[in-house]
């Protein structure tokens, strides 16, 4: 039996066309808001039109609707448009939902599957860097870390990232206490203040921290910062494995993957690097 394509009834066509126009209008409005945000939150009509690739006349019509909804406002003297109160409230509501653990879970699972090593996300707790979410391979590395474990600042890759990006001297007292309690081997690797300052600078320059056998013999790790929208470090993403098969080089594959995933999580939290 042969089935023929039947023409769309006129009524269906008339219903679909307005729907397409509404979708296109919504896309244009969102594009204008994104352009304003990318331009720093305030810009001229011409700059916005160039950013979205449309005529100023067309963008002006959409601007009028956005102004009515308080998503955009206009400065009377300069005539520049900027994000309105409604847009600010939407942004604040989104920021309140920005949880580095929740935002980082997909990346954490993906990183562990790709590298085949233990991966975790840690935040700065009252006692130090604390693991909150961990993914392990089928045959996990025998190392005493789990959700809730507290890591040192100086002797773990995770702690070194927090230390490198700490503002002021917030972590200095804890760091010095760790140094005083450290083993002779650890002290020889990080000989007091001058080396600690150099370590901080090195981690910032590399975009990650890398340790080999510093916390536990035969264990290496690479860690990178997860930043919130203000640029402050909200959490740290870490990959950890047995040194024999773990390339901890800052320019190596593991470090590159960890940095890329941490940057992706940071972007989800609103950070624009």
In the CATH scheme, what architecture does the domain 10-95 have?
A: Orthogonal Bundle (1.10)
Residue ranges of the chain that CATH labels 3.30.450.40: 98-268
> How far are the Cα atoms of 25, 57, 103, 110, 253 from residue 115, in angstroms, in the given order?
43, 52, 20, 9, 9
Share of the chain above pLDDT 90, in %: 32
Q: Which of 115-119, 140-144, 205-209, 267-271 has the lowest mean pLDDT?
A: 140-144
Q: Which residues pair with 129 in a beta bridge?
A: 124
Q: 98-268 sits in which CATH class? A: alpha beta
Q: Where does CATH 1.10.10.10 sit in the chain?
A: 10-95
Instruction: Report, as an integer, the average pLDDT of 34-61.
Output: 88
- When pLDDT is averaged across residues 28-35 and rounded to a whole number, the result is 88
**Mean pLDDT confidence for 158-167:** 91
Listed as own residue / partner, the contacts of 251-258 with beta carbons closer than 8 Å and 24 or more positions apart are 254/115, 254/117, 254/222, 255/206, 255/208, 255/210, 255/222, 255/224, 257/111, 257/114, 257/115, 258/111, 258/208, 258/222, 258/223, 258/224
1 confidence band (pLDDT: 50, 70, 90): very low
- Per residue in 169-217, pLDDT (tens digit) is 768 788 888 887 877 777 777 766 667 788 889 999 999 999 987 777 7
């Amino acid at each position: 039996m042969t089935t023929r394509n039947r023409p769309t009834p006129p009524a269906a066509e008339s219903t679909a066309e307005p729907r397409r126009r509404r979708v296109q209008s919504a896309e244009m409005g969102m594009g204008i808001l994104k352009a304003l945000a990318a331009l720093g939150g305030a810009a001229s009509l011409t700059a916005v039109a160039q950013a979205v690739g449309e005529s100023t006349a067309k963008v002006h019509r959409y601007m009028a609707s956005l102004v009515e909804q308080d998503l955009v406002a206009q400065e009377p003297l300069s005539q520049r448009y900027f994000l309105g109160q409604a847009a600010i409230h939407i942004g604040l509501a989104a920021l309140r939902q920005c949880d580095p653990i929740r935002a980082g879970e997909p990346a954490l699972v993906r990183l562990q599957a790709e590298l085949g090593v233990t991966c975790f996300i840690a935040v700065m707790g009252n006692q130090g860097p604390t693991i909150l979410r961990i993914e392990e391979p089928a045959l996990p590395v025998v190392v005493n870390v789990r959700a809730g474990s507290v890591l040192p600042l100086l002797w773990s890759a995770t702690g070194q990232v927090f230390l490198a990006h700490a503002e002021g001297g917030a972590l200095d007292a804890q760091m010095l206490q760790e140094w005083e309690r450290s083993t002779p081997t650890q002290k020889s690797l990080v000989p007091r203040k001058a080396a600690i300052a150099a370590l901080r600078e090195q981690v910032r320059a590399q975009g990650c921290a890398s340790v080999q056998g510093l916390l536990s013999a035969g264990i290496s790790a690479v860690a990178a910062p997860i930043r919130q929208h203000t640029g402050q470090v909200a959490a740290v993403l870490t990959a950890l494995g047995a040194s024999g098969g773990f390339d901890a080089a800052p320019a190596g594959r593991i470090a590159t993957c960890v940095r890329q995933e941490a940057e992706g999580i940071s972007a989800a939290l609103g950070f624009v690097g």
